[in-house]
Amino acid sequence: MDRNSRNMTPKEIVEYLDRYVVGQNKAKKTIAVALRNRWRRMQLDDEMQRDVTPKNILMIGSTGVGKTEIARRLSRMMRLPFIKVEASKFTEVGFVGRDVESIIRDLSTTAIQLVREEENEKNAEKIEAYVENKIIEKLLPPLPDSASEEKKRDYEASFARMSRRLENGELDHLKIEVEMPPPRIDVGTGGNVPPEMMNVQESIIKVIGGLGKREKREVSIKEARKILAIEASEELLEEEKLNEMALKKVQEGGVVFLDEIDKIAVPSGSGQRQDPSKEGVQRDLLPIVEGSTVNTKIGPVDTDHILFIAAGAFHLSKPSDLIPELQGRFPLRVELDSLDEEALYRILTEPKNSLVKQYEALLAVEDVKLIFEDEALRAIARYSTIANEKSEDIGARRLHTVMERILEDISFDADSYSGKSVVVDLKLVEEKLEDIIESEDSTRYIL
């Protein structure tokens, strides 16, 4: 399904999300439509395309209810350049810290990786052939052109034999010498290096890299495969073409997930001093969300059609505490529901790779068969709900701490249960949790 995922209908997108995220239907729908609109836009004529800008989304919901999870799952499935950043980490332009333009620079870097992966998949056969050829050539140095016909025939036969043995893994223990790819030092991420400087830095690295010969190293064939695959990939897709494709991908499909947007809102009437730096960050965000051009190492990125999904709990502030211009740029608002006992129970059991399935799989590695009784799972959901009510509501994250608590001993002693089944029943859950739940303090500190 991955191949054509960009053509998925909103219904299909929601169905996909349902496999991982319980409930939150409004949020799923809104995002599904926003993503589908991207694809719809691409079907329009150029002039119309330019006028259709994405409707950015503001997700409002308390912690641990699935905001990030929805965005994360989607981007992975859609294979779009995706980046999640915490709005509260940024500082105003001109101050020490990360400026907001770095979001787009980092997004571009993910686009490069994505394009590289996609191209490698497309070229998998070519890459494999390149790698095999190179390896066999090392083991079987090519004949000079002047070799006799007979020698050439012999050579071909040996080559074919070698190729079979290589495919069967019979040669994996051998070592060969390969040239290491030039170090890929990524100066583009993490800091505030302006793009002009990034290019200078990269050129310097290239020059220095080019001065010395490429390092040669003796490695196992298994290792050599990986190294040669990088080489093959670089030969098949030149940097310029790669950048061009990445640029297109970022501009037309990029998704920025702006987490903790509430933390840069300044609550009105709270008696709090106005915080100029928070507002400064909001103002800096404005042009990027609005549509502007940011210089990156793949070239100037036009942010007009990048989709922004902002999320926040908005406990201490309200969406209306954001500066009006920024509010206006997030016209789609969705509220996520907080998770009740039933939702927590479903989260434990239903999603593909749910927590229960994760623990079963982890212990299966130790040859322990973990069996959860339904009663126990119900109780876990119930205790988690109580804990959320007694201390902070941390949503589904509570399940993680509760499960750890219940399974800590089993996990620790797993070796002694090897080859056996271990049943998690209501009694065990109560034993582990009852005392903690009874006292508010211990709930707060232990769970």
- For Mg ion, which residue of 5, 37, 68, 391 counts as binding (CB under 5 A)? 68
Q: Establish if 91 lies at the interface with Mg ion (CB under 5 A).
A: no
Left (φ > 0), alpha (ψ -120 to 50) or beta: where does 269 sit? Answer: left
Residue type, 241: K
List the one residue from 63, 163, 338, 442 that touches ligand ATP (CB under 6 A).
63
Interaction of residue 69 with ligand ATP, rule CB under 6 A: yes
Residue 393 is a binding residue for ligand ATP (CB under 6 A): no
> Using an 8 Å Cβ cutoff, are 31 and 82 in contact?
no
β-partners of residue 422 are 370
* CA separation for the pair 256, 107 (Å, rounded): 8
Work out which of 17, 21, 112, 380 binds ligand ATP, going by CB under 6 A: 21
Given the complex with Mg ion, which of 66 and 81 has the nearer CB atom? 66
Residues 307-366 that bind ligand ATP (CB under 6 A): 313, 347, 351
By CB under 6 A, is residue 75 in contact with ligand ATP? no
Nearer to ligand ATP, 68 or 133 (CB): 68
Residue closer to Mg ion by CB (options 106, 259) is 259
d(CA 149, CA 155): 10
Nearer residue to Mg ion within complex by CB, 90 or 372: 90
Grouping H, G, I as helix, E, B as strand and the rest as coil, residue 247 is: helix
Residues 321 and 313: beta-carbon distance below 8 Å: no
Among ligand ATP, Mg ion, none, partner that 351 touches (CB below 5 to 8 angstroms by kind)? ligand ATP
* Residue 228 or 355 having the CB closest to ligand ATP: 355
SS3 state of residue 177 = strand
84 near ligand ATP (CB under 6 A): no
Query: In the set 60, 178, 224, 396, which binds ligand ATP (CB under 6 A)?
Result: 396
Dist CA 393 CA 388 (whole Å): 4
CB atoms within 10 A of CB 229: 18
**435: which 2 tokens?**
């005392």
Residue with tokens 């641990």: 64
Stretch of 25-33, 319-327, 394-402, 437-445 contacting ligand ATP, by CB under 6 A: 394-402
* CB of 103 closer than 8 Å to CB of 257: no
Contact 331, 339 (CB under 8 A): no
- Least separation in angstroms between residue 9's CB and ligand ATP is 22
322 touches 265 (CB < 8 A): yes
The yes or no reply on residue 65 touching ligand ATP (CB under 6 A) is yes
- Say whether residue 252 binds ligand ATP (CB under 6 A): no
Q: How many residues touch Mg ion (CB under 5 A)? A: 2
Q: What is the DSSP letter of 87?
A: G
Q: Is 88 in the site for Mg ion (CB under 5 A)?
A: no
20 in Cβ contact with 69 (< 8 Å): yes
87 belongs to the binding site for ligand ATP (CB under 6 A): no
Complex with ligand ATP: residue 178 or 399, whichever CB lies closer = 399
- Residue 328 CB: number of other CB atoms within 10 A? 13
Site residues for ligand ATP per CB under 6 A = 21-24, 61, 63-69, 259, 313, 347, 351, 395-397
